[in-house]
Amino acid sequence: MRATFLGTGGSVPTKKRNLPSFAIRTNGGLVMFDCGEGTQRQFLIAKLGFNREMKILISHMHADHILGLPGLLHSMSFMGRSRGLEIYGPAGIADFVECTTETVRFRSLFPVRTIEARAGTVARTESYSIEAAWADHGVPCLSYALVENDKPGRFHPSKARKLGIQKGPLWKTLQMGKPVRVGRRRIDPSKVVGPPRKGLKITYAIDTRPCDRIVQLAMGSDLLVHDGMFASNAFDRAQEFGHSTAAEAATVAKRSRSKNLVLTHLSAIYADTKQLLVEAKKIFPKTSVAEDLKSLELP
């Protein structure tokens, strides 16, 4: 999996930061969270590919998270996208997509399906599922977790050969976790295949006060991307506008036993985010600050 930050600013863009969007490339296609204005250009620079299998998950209907959608859809159509696209979000997402495509007089040349999402399992594919929980932001706002399915254990060809199983369909059967017969012997997959490998989990919780629902959603995440808009001395502002301080984000990472935390939706008042990082790292050392167009490779 490769995770790319397309926009890491909050509320308004800055010279350095576009509005929020975060994309993950998985075996099963592309999953993109939020689509702030200008996302399509970042998408192009990050070479994410306009005709991939793709789902877009919108956290909430605030302008900085959705205004990039009409432009992205238009460009995808213009570039010849043919695959369908699914867009998930809280109530209002379907009206927004329908209204903009009608009033802007643009007809998508590929099918677009909008799905109004709620807390719980939002989508399930062969390679991952997406879970959602309500954030705490004053308007309906969803946090999402992408949970990769567990993968079969590692197959050991040398062990198979030692047991007299030659390369071929029997190997595949064992890899799929089913026993095989060689002559009179029954061979269990555990003899040649290691234990199942846990899938990755990435949680995206943006525009929110720290809350228990997100701690539960993010439990055991390999990567937690969390609203870390303000430093601790701006706690009042974080509380007033339904955001988190970097230290609060770090507490969510710690409580959810996440492995890594990335702070995003950073306020335009911080040209330098060092203070945010220092405050978060005191609570959760494995913290970093998101930067536009930076990617993380998740093994």
Q: Which residue's CB is nearer to Zn ion, number 165 or number 289?
A: 289
- Backbone φ and ψ of 160, nearest 5°: -65, -45
Minimum distance between the CB of residue 141 and Zn ion, rounded to whole angstroms? 7
Please identify which of the residues 34, 64, 207, 292 carries the catalytic annotation: 64
Minimum distance from residue 10 beta carbon to Zn ion (Å):
5
Is 188 among the catalytic positions? no
Q: What are phi and psi of 230, to 5 degrees?
A: -125, 160
State CA 237 to chain mean position distance: 27
Smallest separation, CB 206 to Zn ion (Å): 7
- Quick one: 222 or 248, whose CB is closer to Zn ion? 248
Q: Which of 222, 163, 212 is nearest to 187 (CA)?
A: 163
- Please report, as ranges, the residues that interact with Zn ion according to CB under 5 A: 62, 64, 207
Strands (DSSP E) contained in the chain are: 2-7, 21-26, 29-33, 54-57, 85-89, 112-116, 120-124, 128-134, 142-148, 180-182, 185-187, 201-205, 223-227, 261-264, 287-289, 295-297
Distance of alpha carbon 36 from its chain centroid, rounded? 15
Residue 247, number of CB atoms within 10 A of its CB: 23
d(CA 149, CA 146) in angstroms, rounded, equals: 10
Cα–Cα dist 142/269, whole Å: 25
Tell me the three state secondary structure of residue 148: strand
Rounded CA-CA distance 296/247 in Å is 22
Task: Give which of 29, 28, 22 is closest to 5, Cα–Cα.
Answer: 22
Number of neighbours of residue 173 by Cβ within 10 angstroms? 16
Q: In the complex, what is the shortest distance from the CB of residue 271 to Zn ion, in angstroms, rounded to a whole number?
A: 19
For residue 103, the tally of other CB atoms under 10 A from its CB is: 9
User: 152 is written with which tokens?
Assistant: 């079969």
Nearest approach in angstroms of CB 142 to Zn ion is 12
CB of 20 to Zn ion, least distance (A): 6
User: What residues are annotated to the active site?
Assistant: 64
